[in-house]
Amino acid sequence: MSATLDEFLLAAEYIMSEGNYNVILCERGVRTFTDHTRNTLDLYIVPEVKRISHLPIITDPSHGTGKRLMVAPLSRASVAVGANGLIIEVHDEPEHALSDGPQALLPDQFAHLMEELRLLAPVVRRGIPLVSA
């Protein structure tokens, strides 16, 4: 949390120096002076990591904001800037979730978001594979 880009990459480098090369970076938001979200999802870091590193980077718009209404727009933006993946919290009864209920999408909201992301991805020369349950 609140790491600079160099600190973020050096932490990954440290893990790899000990022999674990299965590293995926995850942008979960940084602390800022705003109080309308839990954190600020730093989408700038995605294309910058891709420019200077070989490591994949995913975003977590659920934790990055802490607010359900922000998950969809920041998921779309994450795809647009080149994130290799997303972490999105889903719960069928978020009001009864043991944690993070306010940021969890309902299953139908998640399904709708995935439809949107599959339409958006080709526009930015990306793809999202279909996964059957």
Structure confidence by residue, pLDDT tens digits, 10-28 = 999 999 999 999 999 999 8
Contact between 88 and 117 (Cβ < 8 Å): no
Average pLDDT over residues 21-50: 83
**131 domain-assigned:** no
**132 domain-assigned:** no
**36 domain-assigned:** yes
**34 domain-assigned:** yes
For 44-75, b where at least 16 C-beta lie within 10 A, e where not — what string? ebbebbbeebebebbbbbbbbbbebebbbebb
**129 domain-assigned:** no
Contact between 86 and 61 (Cβ < 8 Å): yes
**18 domain-assigned:** yes
Structure confidence by residue, pLDDT tens digits, 71-113 = 999 999 999 999 999 999 999 999 999 999 989 999 999 999 9
Contact between 124 and 80 (Cβ < 8 Å): yes
Q: Into how many domains does the chain fold?
A: 1
Residue 46 vs residue 2, higher pLDDT: 46
Whether the per-residue pLDDT at 41 is higher than 90: the answer is no
Task: Give the range of the structural domain holding residue 86, as residue numbers without chain letter.
Answer: 5-124
Q: What is the model's pLDDT at position 133?
A: 63
**130 domain-assigned:** no
Q: What is the model's pLDDT at position 66?
A: 87
Average pLDDT of every residue of the chain: 91
**CATH number, domain at 114?**
3.20.20.70
